Structure formats: structure tokens, C-alpha cells
Amino acid sequence: MNLEQFSQYACERVNRYLDQSLSTYTPAKALHEAMRYSLFNGGKRVRPMLTYAVAELFSAANELTDASAAAVESIHAYSLIHDDLPAMDDDNLRRGKPTCHIQYDEATAILAGDALQTFAFELLSQPKFNQASVQLSLIQTLQSASGRHGMVTGQMIDLSNVNKAMSLQDLELMHRHKTGAIIKAAVKMGAQSVGVDDEEVYRSLDAYASAIGLAFQVQDDIIDITSDTQTLGKTQFSDEDANKPTYPKLLGLDGAKVLAKQLHDEAVAQVTPFGAKSVPLVELANYIIARNH
Amino acid sequence: MNLEQFSQYACERVNRYLDQSLSTYTPAKALHEAMRYSLFNGGKRVRPMLTYAVAELFSAANELTDASAAAVESIHAYSLIHDDLPAMDDDNLRRGKPTCHIQYDEATAILAGDALQTFAFELLSQPKFNQASVQLSLIQTLQSASGRHGMVTGQMIDLSNVNKAMSLQDLELMHRHKTGAIIKAAVKMGAQSVGVDDEEVYRSLDAYASAIGLAFQVQDDIIDITSDTQTLGKTQFSDEDANKPTYPKLLGLDGAKVLAKQLHDEAVAQVTPFGAKSVPLVELANYIIARNH
């Protein structure tokens, strides 16, 4: 399977699982609609791809892999809704479509984000799996990446550094929390979902995830200044305009490209020892530094 | 122990546990401060009291009871932060103090709420407990009360009915989701935390929780029009001003008082069969319909 095929496979699989899992009745129709609007907005599903690709290093992905991929994507979707709010990044456009608070309203967007966070823990705690210890490990991994130890702290560091000079070290600290933690969780949960219990494997996977997570962010900063608004599906120079610290600002455009390539190579070195099944993970690393949107 | 003593015991115990559990370092100082500000704002800790009182019907409260009480209170605290936001209820005052977004700013308040929700699942998933199946049950209970099946749906119903006529049935549906679900969870988790495994017991506890949850809300509506701003610690007539449906509007003040009393009696009837240990639960029910703030 090449990356395009793998991407299609992972997208279809996680979308089907999300769709089925969300279909239960709720008496607040607009809440459900806003949750769906943000979950199914044409996202690339990079995190679910990672979860499936890692699981399949070891065995066939199972329903706990589906729940893990879906839970990670729900956390990601909630974070985008809240990040886009007027009090945060104040973005009107996301993947070429109105952001949740523009399509609905601010209150609905706040609540849809809140409910999507809970939904992630709903997915992982479903009684039908009857695998309490694996499920609890998955929940530990996800919560630790999502809240004060991970993503929310990253967003807080980000917001408090707008218009401030930021060192390379601080920028990395911010990204490792804001986006890196969830990418690491997506990778780890892939292995946890199929019962991997080998510390050395987890160390390699963690190093892979850590490197591609940062590479993803460096590339994001690069394409913010090299791609136009139409290609991006969001406003070009949005980071530049918000006066946010970026890798190209600190390292120059070429320096940022060199860093992205180094991180890519580190990532690839961690997973090639897993053999032929590592191809999607290698191709994902290639994609991350080659993409222009 | 009378109710005042029991309240002091539960408050001290859950506060100590929250304080210890939050003390881990995070690189985002303001996030931590805002989380603490909202968690320790002089709340009455009614939900933790319920968790402890229910656990102690069966045996001594244990550390899982602490984690349960603390997790429920974290969900409650997060919901208050988000409810108070300008896009939601737009409240500046909570328990006589500036609300989180006034004390800090809107972005910090949104993120502190987000992180407090995650924190609840962090508390319940701690590896040190090593009781995966009980922990997973606690997480199931809490998530189901917090998100699209519970509290968030209630808040959404509430927001979409401002300035609208609402039937008694719809008002009850709203409250059962918005506040009732978490009160039920607080009660159920008390029993789960000490390993209760008796469906009939859970049915009685659920009926108790359901009745006091609704009584709490009816009483809230009553005191909104009978107590002044200073006693309330929030603006008097705030529901009245927002043109929200309330029990006194639908039933008249006397009708609302009769309903609160009926619900109280139903609640008490469910727990008196547990004997002398039910005293705190009975006194809590008494307090709920006697309080004026």
C-alpha cells in the first residue's frame, strides 16, 4: 500500500467509526451537528493514520485501534474549535470552510469542543471492549497528552508569547506540548491497542513520534510563508500577521528546511528496523516535510 | 456527625486531595493558577459531600473515593468557567468573586476549563490505584454525565431556550442533563469507589440522586427571586433578567416550593432504609431545600 492508499484506508476506517459512534440520539440537535461539522471537515487524519500504521507494525488493527484513532481525532477536533475562537486565534477559516463559531455561534462552538473532549474518553471507556487494563492505559496516554501536561499547556505557552521574542528552546517546548504530545499519543496508542508490551519498542516509537511531531510544526511554519491562501485553506501569513514566533524567523527559511530534514531522518531511522511494515510510517515522515498545505 | 461537621470533613478531604494532585509542575504558570483559582473559590462541595456520604454507607471512603470526589468537582469547576464566559451566560461574579475570565482573560478561562475536564480523567486513571476495572467504571460514569449524554447537552438546551416558552417537561429535561447528571454521577461513583456491586442499591441511589438533583435546581430558581445579591454571591434575578424559564415562572413560587418538598421526601425515602449511616444524605436533602444561597 502506498501512502495515498494507506491514507484512504485510514480515513475511511476512522470516519466510519466516528460516524457510527456519534449516531446515538441526543436531545440537543445543534450540539451534535456542530460536533459532526468539526469532526468531518476534510481533515487529513494524520493522527489516525499514525495510530493505524503503528498498530499494523505488530498485528491487524482491531476495534480498540479504531477507538484510539477516533479518540485522538476527537481531541484534535476539539482543540481546533477552541483555538479558532475569537478570544484565542480568532480564525474564520479552517480547511477552506467557516470555523465552527462562524458556522454556528461561539457558545455552540465552546460546547461542541467540550463535548468532543468528553467523547474521546467515551470512546476509550466503552464497556463492550471488556479489556479494562488496556483501556485504562489508553486513557492514561490520551489524558496526559491533552491537558495540563500536554496540549492545553502548549496552547497557553503559545498565547502568552504572541508579540514576544522566543528562544529556539522555548519554541520547541511550546510545540512539543501543543502538537507533539498528541502525535506521540496517537503513535503510542496504536501499539497499546494491539497489546504491545515491550519498553524498547515504545522508546523507538516515542523517538519517531517526537521527531515527526516537531518536523510537522517546522513544516507548518515553512508553508505559512511559502504557500498562498488558496493552497493552505487558511489565511497565508496568519502566524506572521499574529506576530508569532516561528522557525523561519529564528533560523531563516533555509535553516528551517534543514531542521525539518534532520528531524525526518531521525524519525525514519527509528522505524526502518521494523522492516517492510514500516513503509507507511516512513512515507508519512516523507509526506510531512514535502507537503505544501 | 451533623451536616456541618460532615461538610467540613468532606471539604477538607477533597480540597487536600485536589491540592496535592495539582501540585505537579507545568510550564504554563497562568494556566495552573487559573485552574486553582476556579477549583478553590469557596464552593460548597455538595457533589464531593455526596460521593463521600454514599461511600460511607458501605465502608470507609478510600483514595478512589477521594479521586472520584475530586474528579466530579473538577468537571463542575470546568463547567462553571465555561458557563460564565461572555458567549455563554456572561457572568462577572461567582460566589462573590470575579469569574475566571474576569480575573484572568477569556483565552485563559477557556483553556483552564479544558484542562480541568482532562484533569478529572487524569485523577481517575492514575496508574497507582492498580484497579483497572473499577477505575474504568468510574470513568464511564463520569464521561456519560459530562458530555453529549449529560451536562453539555443540558447547557445547550438551556442556551437555546433563552427568551422561549418552555414546558415543565422540557425544563426538567434540561435540568436533568445540565446539573442532574453530574449529581447522579457523584452519588454513583461514591458506591463504585468502594466496590459496591448490587443493582438494587444502585437503583435506590439513582432515585435519591435524581430527586435531590432536581430539588437543587428548583430551589436555585426559588432563591434567585427570594434572596438578595449579597446573600447569593451572584447577581439577584440573573435568571429572571436573562428571561430564562424557571420553576416559579411555570408553577408560581408556592408551586415550586411544593415541588421541592415532594422531591425532598422522595429522596429521603430512598436512603433511610440504609439506616443510621444515611444521616448525612438525609441532612443534605434537608439542606438543599432549606438553603437561601
Tell me the per-residue pLDDT of A79-116, one tens digit each, with 9 for 90 and over: 999 999 999 999 999 989 999 999 999 999 999 999 99
Are B115 and A148 an interchain contact pair (Cβ–Cβ within 8 Å)?
yes
Nearest-angstrom CA–CA distance, B58 and A289: 58
A129 within some domain: yes
What band does A241 get if pLDDT is binned at 50, 70 and 90? low
Residue B128 has pLDDT above 70, yes or no: yes
Nearest-angstrom CA–CA distance, A226 and A222: 6
Are B148 and A173 an interchain contact pair (Cβ–Cβ within 8 Å)?
no
What band does B163 get if pLDDT is binned at 50, 70 and 90? confident
A236 within some domain: yes
Buried b (16+ CB within 10 A) or exposed e, A195-218: ebeeeeeeebbebbbbbbbbbbbb
The whole-angstrom distance between A124's CA and the closest CA on chain B is 9
What band does A196 get if pLDDT is binned at 50, 70 and 90? very high
- For A12-71, what is each residue's pLDDT tens digit? 999 999 999 998 767 899 999 999 999 998 888 999 999 999 999 999 999 999 999 999
**C-alpha pair distances (Å), B45 with each of A33, A76, A116, B52, B225:** 34, 32, 26, 11, 23
All three cell numbers of B89: 451566560
Q: What pLDDT shows up at residue B57?
A: 97
B118 within some domain: yes
Most confident of A230-239, B41-50, B190-199: B190-199
Instruction: Give mean pLDDT, residues B25-45.
Output: 91
- On whether the CB atoms of residues A245 and A165 are closer than 8 A, the answer is yes
Nearest-angstrom CA–CA distance, B101 and B83: 11
Residue B143: list chain A partners with CB under 8 A: 118, 121-122, 125
Nearest-angstrom CA–CA distance, A85 and A35: 15
A44 within some domain: yes
The residue in chain B having the minimum alpha-carbon distance to the alpha carbon of residue A118 is B147
Nearest-angstrom CA–CA distance, B100 and B112: 9
B23 within some domain: yes
Count Cβ atoms below 10 Å from residue B105 Cβ, excluding itself. 14
- For A127-184, what is each residue's pLDDT tens digit? 999 999 999 999 999 999 999 999 999 999 998 888 888 899 999 999 999 999 999 9
Per the structure, how many domains does chain A have? 1
Nearest-angstrom CA–CA distance, B92 and B77: 15
Residue A240 has pLDDT above 80, yes or no: no
A159 within some domain: yes
Are A136 and B132 an interchain contact pair (Cβ–Cβ within 8 Å)?
yes
B256 within some domain: yes
Q: Of A94-98, B213-217, B227-231, which range is least confident?
A: B227-231
CATH number for position A233: 1.10.600.10
All three cell numbers of B39: 477549583
Q: What pLDDT shows up at residue B235?
A: 61
Domain with A205 in it: 3-286
Are A127 and B148 an interchain contact pair (Cβ–Cβ within 8 Å)?
no
Q: What pLDDT shows up at residue B232?
A: 57
All three cell numbers of B156: 445547550
Are A156 and B28 an interchain contact pair (Cβ–Cβ within 8 Å)?
yes
Nearest-angstrom CA–CA distance, B157 and A27: 8
Residue B293 has pLDDT above 90, yes or no: no
Residue B66 has pLDDT above 90, yes or no: yes
The residue in chain A having the minimum alpha-carbon distance to the alpha carbon of residue B147 is A115
Q: What pLDDT shows up at residue B228?
A: 65
Nearest-angstrom CA–CA distance, A288 and A219: 7
Q: What pLDDT shows up at residue A230?
A: 60
B7 within some domain: yes
